[in-house]
Amino acid sequence: MNETVLDKFLRYVKIDTQSSEESDTYPSTSKQLNLLNLLVDELKTLGLKDTRIDKYGYVMATLPSNVTHKVPAVGFIAHVDTSPSASGENVKPQVIKYNGGDVVLPGDKSIVIRESENPELKHCIGKTIITSDGTTLLGADNKAGIAIIMTAVQHLLNNPKIPHGDIKIGFTPDEEVGAGTKYFELKAFGADFAYTVDGDTAGELNKETFSANSATITVHGRNIHPGFAKNIMVNSIRAMADIIVRTPKDMAPETTEGYEPYIHPHVLKGEEEKTTLNFLFRDFVTDGLEKQKKILEKIIEEVKPLHPKTRIELEIKESYRNMREGLEKDPRVTDYLWEATKRSGLEPKWVPIRGGTDGSRLTAMGLPCPNIFTGGNNFHGKTEWASLEGMEKSIETVVNLVQVWVEKSKG
């Protein structure tokens, strides 16, 4: 198992693990188990004797401490599933020495990784990047994280003089559909602190995520043959169209950045009888989610008189919450990550995640869990790419991090 991180990454991305928002099973797709079971076999081959997979697909294992004094157990977590937003089937990874400029992907030449849209590319000139062929996503989110964790474990086993406490390994399904920790048992995992390896640009660390809710507007109408529809048909699609055009354009993902919140309509299904529209609510301030709800309620009240024969419903569900408050309760988990990143020769910076990770929920559940970079970029689409150097620096950071915990835990 003396593979490089690139060897592992190329092998993992070829396994289709796309999750599904439409499923009522767990995991949402059985094909995620193909990679989860492979990881069980690989961890056992590495010699991690307590490796197991539970009935929900969670893979857990322990690399035992090799020091005599007590050190908190530290976990590293990555998810196996890829986004439903683009196909993850038959991924053909391209390993490229990047020499600058735009990257035209060979499987679909209309798919271009543009230098102007990817400022991080300038740091990769003369170095190796990995892309898909343009017909699928790559799967760096989060197979780069898996490859980083597995390679770090391999490195620690090959170098037993590197001191570390108990290291807990966790691989989860269904993160991309918001269910990555739905059945995750903290006691079974056994970590005191943990880190998701699910970030992007090298050196960027995450201790803040959005707080998030989901919303669904359902418009009920009445269908009848269009040839006899006058004064009878109630077309739910038309009412929904009037709702959509009233959503604030200055609160869209495509018009916001940094700490700015957004309301994002992202799945629309409908015909005359019934139309549904799913929204994402995102705000770094949890109270802002209530403001977003009121915005939609106001829009619905404006539209009802325009379509008086329709029935319009709004449903709100909690998704996850900003992990900042939970992490502030014990600053060691973030302070030590900062130190480990500096030791890797990088200039670390805290960057808010305009999204969420398994770490959001795990922190809320009581397991402090900030996020480490992977070197990936452009997640969820066909222009996704990863920096090999970014992955290697992440491995170095993980190895440094377990040593920092040992050093800081000495009496």
pLDDT 10s digits, 248-281: 999 999 999 999 999 999 999 999 999 999 999 9
Token look-up 């679909």 returns 108
Please name the residue ranges forming H helices in 127-250.
140-158, 186-189, 236-246
Please, what sign has the CA dihedral across residues 66, 69, 70, 72?
negative
Mean pLDDT of 176-198: 96
Mean pLDDT of 225-235: 96
Which of 2 and 36 is assigned the larger pLDDT?
36
pLDDT band at 92 (very low <50, low <70, confident <90, very high): very high
For the cut 80, the answer to whether the pLDDT of residue 73 exceeds it is yes
Mean pLDDT of 115-127: 96
CATH architecture entry for 5-208+322-408: 3-Layer(aba) Sandwich (3.40)
Which residue numbers are catalytic?
A: 81, 175
pLDDT reported for residue 1: 63
pLDDT reported for residue 178: 87
Q: Which residues of 366-393 are buried (b: 16+ CB within 10 A; e: fewer)?
A: ebbbbbbbbbbbbbeebbbbbbbebbbb
Mean pLDDT of 199-218: 96
DSSP state of 196: E
Structure tokens at 204: 């960027």
pLDDT reported for residue 86: 95
For the stretch 28-50, pLDDT in tens is 999 999 999 999 999 999 999 89
pLDDT reported for residue 410: 87
Residue positions counted in the chain: 411
Please, what sign has the CA dihedral across residues 119, 121, 124, 128?
positive
pLDDT band at 411 (very low <50, low <70, confident <90, very high): low
Domain boundary assignment for the chain: 5-208+322-408, 211-320
Mean pLDDT of 309-335: 94
pLDDT reported for residue 325: 85
Residues 6 or more apart whose CB falls under 8 angstroms from that of 156 comprise 63, 162, 164, 167, 399, 402
Q: Output the DSSP codes for 315-338.
A: EEEEEE--SHHHHTT-THHHHHHH
pLDDT reported for residue 49: 82
For the domain made up of 211-320, give the CATH fold: Alpha-Beta Plaits (3.30.70)
Strands 167-172 and 59-63: antiparallel
Mean pLDDT of 291-300: 98
